[in-house]
Homo-oligomer: A and B are copies of this chain.
Amino acid sequence: MTSPDILPPQIILVRPQMGENIGAAARAMLNFGNDAMRLVAPRDGWPNPAANAMASGAGRVLTDARMFDDVDAAVADLGYVYATTARMREVSKPVLSPQEAIADARARIGAGQKVGILFGPERAGLETRDLIPAQAIITLPVNPEFPSLNLAQCVLLLGYEWARQSGAALPDPHTVQEPATRLEVQKLLERLTGRLEEAQFFWPEHKAEPMRRTLENLFYRLDLSEPDIRVLHGVVRTLGRDKHDGSRG
């Protein structure tokens, strides 16, 4: 996000296996402006060339990543820890949607707490013992018949949820076109109905008034901008002119 209002959570990858997935997670973090990565005992050691190759533009997330031997060490300085799990478990901890978890995390960070989110290894996910230091569980709202997300996708979705709630990089309202004034619409309608009258469009007589009203309603309702009005003036002028008089206007 352009100007993050508060610092995002620590993203903690627990015993990640493939270097490629660590690199992809780094990219996913940076896509939403988070560069605070922690790694717990990556399977293939560290640094990992495959991770760097995959991260490409997000390499500095890997360079700055902090390394830990176990989950306890990785969360030691944090005040509140969330653990992501794909499947429901027998845990006596609150289970939150990403939306609920990020709202909670934002409140905590805003109050000066340091928070982190644990992500498990690719195949098996977090083990029950990894969940011990976590205060809450995050479960993604995936299709139970096809739940498998990869590591970077999980990181991406939490990052998106963070960006969504921080209102970062919201679309610029100025890209929406300024509407034409009602007077400009009136003038277009005058020209249009004038030409249509000449061409006996409002016919039969007793339907003329409702037809006229339908047309007016239509053009007033449309979200016409000033440039739109200009284009339509040209269209009406061109179509309405007598083909045999040869004038352009």
What is the CB-to-nearest-CB distance from A123 to chain B, in angstroms, rounded to a whole number? Answer: 15
**Inter-chain contacts of A177 with B (CB < 8 A):** 92
What is the CB-to-nearest-CB distance from A236 to chain B, in angstroms, rounded to a whole number? Answer: 7
**Complex contact B171–A139 (CB within 8 A):** yes
Q: Does A77 contact B (CB under 8 A)?
A: no
Q: Does A214 contact B (CB under 8 A)?
A: yes
**Complex contact A143–B241 (CB within 8 A):** no
Q: Mark A188-232, 1 if CB is under 8 A from B, else 0.
A: 000010011011110000000000001100100111110110011
Q: Does A186 contact B (CB under 8 A)?
A: no
**Complex contact A218–B228 (CB within 8 A):** yes
Question: With A157-B157, A223-B223 known to touch, is A143 a contact of B33 (CB < 8 Å)?
Answer: yes
Which one of A36-44, A62-70, A162-170 contacts B?
A: A162-170
A residues adjacent to B (C-beta < 8 A)? 1-2, 27-28, 30-33, 57-58, 88, 91-92, 94-100, 139-144, 146-149, 153, 156-157, 160, 163-164, 168-172, 175-177, 192, 195-196, 198-201, 214-215, 218, 221-225, 227-228, 231-232, 234-236, 238-244, 248
The 8 closest A-B pairs by CB, nearest first: A239-B239, A95-B171, A33-B143, A201-B238, A30-B146, A141-B163, A92-B177, A141-B169
